[in-house]
A and B are shown apart, each in its own frame.
Chain A
Amino acid sequence: MLKISNVETFYGKIQALRGVDLDVNDGEIVSLIGSNGAGKSTLLMTISGVNKAKRGNIVFNGENIENKDPHKIVDMGICQVPEGRRIFSRLTVEENLRLGAHANEKGKHFENDIKEVYDLFPVLSNRKTQRGGTLSGGEQQMLAIGRALMSKPKVLLLDEPSLGIAPKLVNQIFVSIKNINKEKNVTIFLVEQNAKKALELADRAYVLVNGKVTIKGPGQELLKNKDIQAAYLEGGAKN
């Protein structure tokens, strides 16, 4: 469905991605783990078209998208929940959701879609007239995911949904991600530093080190991998 081959992305002269190859199949949850500065967010921004790949191809449903504008890519069905949530803090919850529907035929099915989001995250419906900036971190993350869902994506790109959120809410958000995948048939590409959670959830996973994919395989298999345990999972060395 989404095939990334040999992608290289630069910030000025600094190379952030050094030939990344990975693919995401229809209906899967694919996780990408890696340490700070490995290039995880850059890869997501490159898929979304916010950063442009200097070399390599990104093919989505048989169409090359590496040179398309970000809004065209969203129209095609790839939507990103950016790192740090990036809620429109002075706009209300409902206005935030409406903006997510921007790509979806300019909000035609708005009423229906927004109900689905509220069913998924009931806490948002209690807060619909509240400003985005007044929500807690976890609620903001739910809003960010809900906002992205409003564009009816085929693939949802999630950048560190657990960042700066209370552990209890992290569990809830990961359950929601699974629901989105299973019930709404949205393919998930998840980037995470919380390697354990990300690998448990994933059908398949990749490890990104210094802008290159070093390890790949089914999520459960990677959980047992000694190198990964040592590098990314707590207490890995003891096993």
Chain B
Amino acid sequence: MEKKDIIQSFKDSLFTGLIALALFGPIVGLKTVSKGEGLFITPQWGVVFLLVGLCILGRFLININSARRTEFKIFSTLSSKFSSITEDKAKHFAITGILFAVAFPFLPFTDRYFMDVAIMILTYIMLGWGLNIVVGLAGLLDLGYVAFYAVGAYSYALIATTFGWSFWICLPLAGLFAAFFGILLGFPVLRLRGDYLAIVTLGFGEIIRIILINWYEVTNGPDGITGIPRPSFFGLPFKRSPDEGETSFHLFFNLEYSTMHRIIFLYYLILVLALITNYFTLKIRKLPVGRAWEALREDEIACKSLGVNPTNTKLTAFAIGAMFGGFAGSFFATRQAFISPESFTFIESAIIVAIVVLGGMGSQTGVVLASIFLIGITEMFRDLEQYRMIAFGGAMVLIMVFKPKGILANRKPTILMHEDKK
């Protein structure tokens, strides 16, 4: 490498250091400590300089590495590891993944904590797959997807607590409500694309949340809805001592009572719901409407000139994406037994969009990898409390450095006709 390059990358690293200083200075450097009467600022310059130093060093290493590929083995091997994840291997990955997911609750190391994390990851996978229909296939950037999650959760909660209907009746109803809201959002944004669409959908997400907070008579406002019925195993509740005339799950199957039964059931429930979402998406991509979504993402004018009706195409994408969001919402409500508007803030939408984008727009397996990566990493760093968002950000930066188009950037064709005959 030439001297000029080194000086150049050194300058660049120092500039990075300046940005890091500006960011970490106030955030990390000035710590507020409450002592008796009020808050006092305790400076922590040592930590700041450590972090800034790390940023400078990291930037310098990346610079040198990009100038001379062979110098740092770690980067290039990591890079090639990442790029070796392709759609061809994705199929094997999918089959092993599903088998692993089915066996997961019975693996020796699986405990309650692992199950909870797995359920959370699966919920995000389902949301990611649902949003993938809107963002990945139809190319409509929706930053308010959490609204449909919320509509699904609240519809389920309200129907279940008011009428006392079972999960399996409420679930499709909640999905229908969410789909209806999807169409409701779809109409005003039909003419919008790109940035403008993103802003309006963002607003829509906030509107739904604010309605949930303020419509006290129906939604119980910020207090949320409590006592949402837990799901039953096709009529058999998961209770230690069932009510008069009822048989509970453990009695029916002659098992010793354990709270894990319910957790395992919830796990399989979300696994099945997520797999249905995936199966549906894979199938619909091969139908005219699914193909029209992808065409619309590529070129709207060409679509019009070929006789694709953009209005219907966009509305179906919004409705179907929203429906799966609603299903996931119902699941969330029955799992938590309590929901409040706080669970449906913008950060949820942002995480789901991040999963879809980082996974590689439109890639189903990519969504799975991104969910495991992002949600898993934030969970792993749970002990670090507020710093775990740094891990979240770091994970995103890593993916963008090594796979700028997402983990699985290559779109799989929907038809490979005549190919086998030759």
Contact pick for A79, options B295, B298, B305, B411, CB 8 Å: B305
Does any Cβ of B come within 8 Å of A148's Cβ? Answer: yes
**Chain A positions 85-131 with a Cβ under 8 Å from a chain B Cβ:** 86-92, 94-95, 98-100, 102-103, 106-107, 128-129
Contacts of B360-408 to chain A: CB distance below 8 A: none
Instruction: Specify the chain A residue showing the minimal Cβ separation from B311.
Output: A69
Known: A92-B413, A92-B415, A95-B413. A70 touches B291 (CB 8 A): no
- B415's partner among A71, A82, A95, A151 (CB-CB below 8 A) is A95
Over the window 268-305 of chain B, the binary record of Cβ atoms lying under 8 Å from chain A Cβ atoms (1 yes, 0 no) is 00000000000000000000100110110011011111
Given contacts A92-B413, A94-B417, A129-B419, contact A102 B307 (CB under 8 A): yes
Give the residue among A70, A82, A103 with the most B Cβ atoms within 10 A.
Answer: A70
- The number of residue pairs between A and B whose CB atoms lie closer than 8 Å in the complex comes to 87
Shortest distance from the beta carbon of B397 to any chain A beta carbon, whole Å: 26
Contacts of B309 in A (CB 8 A): 69, 71
Asked whether, in the complex, the Cβ of B305 is within 8 Å of the Cβ of A94, the reply is: no
Pairwise interchain contact B288-A80, C-beta atoms closer than 8 A: no
Residue of A nearest to B287 (CB): A106
Which range contains the number of A residues in contact with the other chain? 20 to 34
Q: How far is the CA of A103 from the CA of B294 in the complex (A)?
A: 16
Among A50, A89, A90, the most chain B Cβ lie within 10 Å of the Cβ of A90
B1: Cβ under 8 A from any A Cβ: no
Residues of B within 8 A of A129 (CB): 413, 416, 419
Closest Cβ of chain A: how far from B192's Cβ, in Å? 17
Alpha-carbon distance between A95 and B302 when the two chains are bound, in angstroms: 14
> Inside 8 A of A50's CB, which chain B residues have their CB?
301, 304-305
Whether a CB of chain B sits under 8 angstroms from the CB of A200 is: no
Pick the contact of A88: B299, B304, B417, B419 (CB < 8 A). B299
For residue B92, CB closer than 8 A to chain A, the reply is: no
Which residues from A are CB-within-8-Å of B302?
82, 86-88
Contact B307 A151 (CB under 8 A): yes
Say yes or no: A99 contacts B417, CB within 8 Å: no
Q: Which residues of A contact B421 (CB under 8 A)?
A: none
Which of B303, B307, B413 counts the most A-chain CB atoms under 10 A from its CB?
B307
CA distance in complex: A87, B294 (Å): 12
Quick check: B298 and A48 within 8 Å, CB to CB?
no
Residue-by-residue, is B320-349 near A (CB-CB < 8 Å gives 1, otherwise 0)? 000000000000000000000000000000
Measured CB to CB, the nearest residue on chain A to B292 is A102
Chain A min CB distance to B249 (Å): 47
Which residues 11-56 of A have a CB within 8 angstroms of B? Answer: 48-50
A7 on the interface (CB 8 Å rule)? no
Known: A95-B291, A129-B413. A148 touches B306 (CB 8 A): yes
Between A and B, 8 residue pairs with Cβ closer than 8 Å are A50-B304, A73-B307, A75-B307, A94-B413, A98-B291, A102-B307, A103-B306, A129-B416
Please report A residues at the B interface, Cβ cutoff 8 Å. 48-50, 69-71, 73-75, 79-82, 86-92, 94-95, 98-100, 102-103, 106-107, 128-129, 147-148, 151
Q: Which residues of B contact A (CB under 8 A)?
A: 288, 291-292, 294-295, 298-299, 301-309, 411, 413-419
Q: Which 8 A-B pairs have the closest CB atoms?
A: A74-B307, A103-B307, A86-B302, A88-B298, A80-B305, A71-B309, A70-B304, A92-B413
